[in-house]
Amino acid sequence: MLRQDAKAYAKAQADKKPEAKPTKPAPPPAAPAQKPMELPKYQVKARPFAKESPATFDARKQRKANDKQIAREEQATHATDEDKLLNNKKTSIMGGLTAQARADDARVRIQQLEVKNEVLGTIVDPKADKENKELLDELNDLEVAKHYQ
């Protein structure tokens, strides 16, 4: 019985006409031709030092950083009110010379940075590559000497 029902169902399904699939909607009517929107024109300026070598660019960058460091160190050469209070010779436990020692250290660092800036300044000036390599070696020596002090 089940077989007959299954055959009858299959035959009925085969006799049915396939339903019509819905058709795609019609494309919308074309919009009237418009000019494409124009963006304002910008001119990009080239970097002012675009033609310099990477070593020269790095030297400029390092020189600027050194100038900032020199400004910070110059502030450290002067004793603050707190330093004067804590390092008074009469009331200080340690002898009252730490502010002076810190100022002396700052002066030494300023001198080192100024020498380094002079070397960097000669690198920035347009010169032969051979001279720049020698100056870069000298700069390296200054860095090494700074760490051994």
Domain membership of residue 148 (yes or no) is no
Which residue from 107, 109, 96 is spatially nearest to 149, judged by alpha carbons?
A: 109
Residue 134 belongs to what domain range? Answer: 54-89+97-143
Q: What whole-number percentage of the chain has pLDDT above 90?
A: 13
End-to-end CA gap in the chain: 106
CB-based contacts of 129, cutoff 8 Å, min separation 6: 53
Give me the pLDDT at residue 16, please: 67
Are the C-beta atoms of 77 and 103 separated by less than 8 Å? Answer: yes
Which residue from 65, 137, 146, 62 is spatially nearest to 111, judged by alpha carbons?
A: 146
Domain membership of residue 38 (yes or no) is no
Domain membership of residue 122 (yes or no) is yes
Domain membership of residue 67 (yes or no) is yes
Domain membership of residue 41 (yes or no) is no
Q: How many domains does the chain have?
A: 1
Higher pLDDT, 134 or 128: 134
Residue 52 predicted with pLDDT over 80: no
Domain membership of residue 81 (yes or no) is yes
Give me the pLDDT at residue 65, please: 93
CA 90, 92, 93, 96 dihedral sign is negative
Taking residues 86-101, what's their average pLDDT?
73
Domain membership of residue 72 (yes or no) is yes
Higher pLDDT, 145 or 148: 145
Residue 108 predicted with pLDDT over 80: yes
Residue 149 predicted with pLDDT over 70: no
The whole model's pTM is what?
0.51
Give me the pLDDT at residue 23, please: 75
The chain-wide mean pLDDT, for the chain, equals 77
Block residue for tokens 């990009």:
44
Domain membership of residue 39 (yes or no) is no
